[in-house]
Amino acid sequence: MKASIGESLGDYTRHEILSTMESESQKIFKENHPKFTPNQLIETMSRKGIKFNLMSREEAKKRITENTYYFKVGVYRHNFIKDENGQYSNLDFAHLDDLAILDMRLRKILLNMSLDLEHSLKTLVNSIVTMDKLEDGYQIVQDFSTTHKFDLSNMYGIYDKRSHYLNPVKNKHSSCTSVWVLLELMSFGELSKFLEFYFDRTKISKKRLVYPAKLIRYAKNVRNAAAHNNPIILNLSGMTSISPDPKIMQTNHKMGLDKSLYRNPRINDILCLFFLHDMYCSKGVRNHLISELEAFKKRCMRNASYYSNNNHLKELYRNLELLIDYYKFK
């Protein structure tokens, strides 16, 4: 029997052809979300009720053309409500621009905190392993690699021609990797898995590792969002509630944070990062963070009047101030 055209093409070729064919839903989506020029974007925002009183249309156009882009700024409109006609209430483009700037600054602070924490926890684990008479520093790497199907070749970038920065380490250590080399090269996400693994494995200093092992996965979420420039000040209310760790809940209670806020998964991730940073980073590192947080709090207050009619954002910033003050004075 003669093969059909589809059969004669082969599975791979059929897949490639089908993947390039536009579905009806894709066609409709494109029609509803066409490419817009800056002027068209301004008009579209205006039709949705976004005002240009605090920042003129020309200034807004310059912002989304030279300093940022609409998708990066426009996403913050979800922090504002619409009226019964689907129009945004009390929303000016300047509000979106201000939130985008604040979020950028917050992401930088959270990313720096993540880097501080990563260094401190790697130092802690290195110290514990060094004092552990049951570890030779090598077998633990093999056991972790086997348990978590961790590919050491990927860590060294053996299959990546651009990995010349790692060549000196790779040439010397890739054939027999020690835990101190592993800790130096592994990512934050890999460190998260390793801490959980090592907590279950070690017989010493378990109390020093209990909170990193339990909470590092939440701090990792913040680190990834900040590193990839994902918006932080977004969807901070109305999400599915979670039950934070009892120690985190106790700390939140001391700070006076609103319970409905810290049960939000995004807020919980941030609070876990703060908790671990406070517990494991040095005094000098903490003092530097306090200076950054104070500057951020001051910047938040610059345009506080923008959000006088937005109870959600007012409550968010009030709790953020409580968090900063607690971290500073505790």
Choosing from 64, 91, 118, the residue where a domain stops is: 91
The confidence score (pLDDT) of residue 227 equals 96
Residues of the chain above pLDDT 70, percent: 91
The confidence score (pLDDT) of residue 301 equals 92
Query: Across all residues in the chain, what is the average pLDDT?
Result: 89
The confidence score (pLDDT) of residue 11 equals 66
Residue 250 CB contacts under 8 Å (≥ 6 apart), including other chains? none
Question: What mean pLDDT comes out for the span 298-308?
Answer: 93
Residue 208 CB contacts under 8 Å (≥ 6 apart), including other chains? 124, 128
Residue range(s) defining the domain that contains residue 294:
99-329
Question: What mean pLDDT comes out for the span 213-223?
Answer: 96
Query: In which band, very low, low, confident or very high, does the pLDDT at 26 lie, cut at 50, 70 and 90?
Result: confident
Query: In which band, very low, low, confident or very high, does the pLDDT at 238 lie, cut at 50, 70 and 90?
Result: low
The confidence score (pLDDT) of residue 17 equals 57
* Whether residue 183 sits in one domain with residue 61: no
* Whether residue 129 sits in one domain with residue 189: yes
Question: What mean pLDDT comes out for the span 98-109?
Answer: 96
Kindly state whether residue 32 falls inside one of the protein's structural domains: yes
Q: Which of 212, 245, 215 is nearest to 119 (CA)?
A: 212
Query: In which band, very low, low, confident or very high, does the pLDDT at 24 lie, cut at 50, 70 and 90?
Result: confident
Helix (H, G, I), strand (E, B) or coil at 88: strand
Residues of the chain above pLDDT 90, percent: 62
- Structure tokens belonging to residue 302: 């610059």
- Within 10 angstroms of residue 8's Cβ, the number of other Cβ atoms is 10
Does residue 241 register a pLDDT over 80? no
Where does residue 93 fall: left (phi above 0), alpha (psi -120 to 50 degrees), or beta otherwise? alpha
Does residue 2 register a pLDDT over 60? no
How many domains does the chain fold into? 2
* CA end-to-end distance (rounded Å), the chain: 81
Question: What mean pLDDT comes out for the span 87-108?
Answer: 96
What is the distance between the alpha carbons of residues 110 and 320, in angstroms, rounded to a whole number? Answer: 13
Query: In which band, very low, low, confident or very high, does the pLDDT at 169 lie, cut at 50, 70 and 90?
Result: confident
Question: What mean pLDDT comes out for the span 164-169?
Answer: 78
Kindly state whether residue 10 falls inside one of the protein's structural domains: no
* Whether residue 190 sits in one domain with residue 167: yes
Kindly state whether residue 68 falls inside one of the protein's structural domains: yes
* Whether residue 129 sits in one domain with residue 61: no
What is the distance between the alpha carbons of residues 54 and 49, in angstroms, rounded to a whole number? Answer: 14
* Whether residue 264 sits in one domain with residue 307: yes
What long-range pairs does 300-306 form, CB within 8 A, spacing at least 24? 300/102, 303/94, 303/98, 306/54, 306/92, 306/94, 306/95, 306/98
Helix (H, G, I), strand (E, B) or coil at 281: coil
The model's pTM: 0.88
- 257 or 116: which leads in pLDDT: 116
Q: pLDDT for 265-284, tens place per residue?
A: 888 999 999 999 999 999 99
Choosing from 73, 91, 109, the residue where a domain stops is: 91
Does residue 6 register a pLDDT over 60? no
* Whether residue 135 sits in one domain with residue 82: no
- Structure tokens belonging to residue 167: 């060549």
Q: pLDDT for 37-68, tens place per residue?
A: 999 999 999 999 999 999 999 999 999 999 99
* Whether residue 149 sits in one domain with residue 107: yes
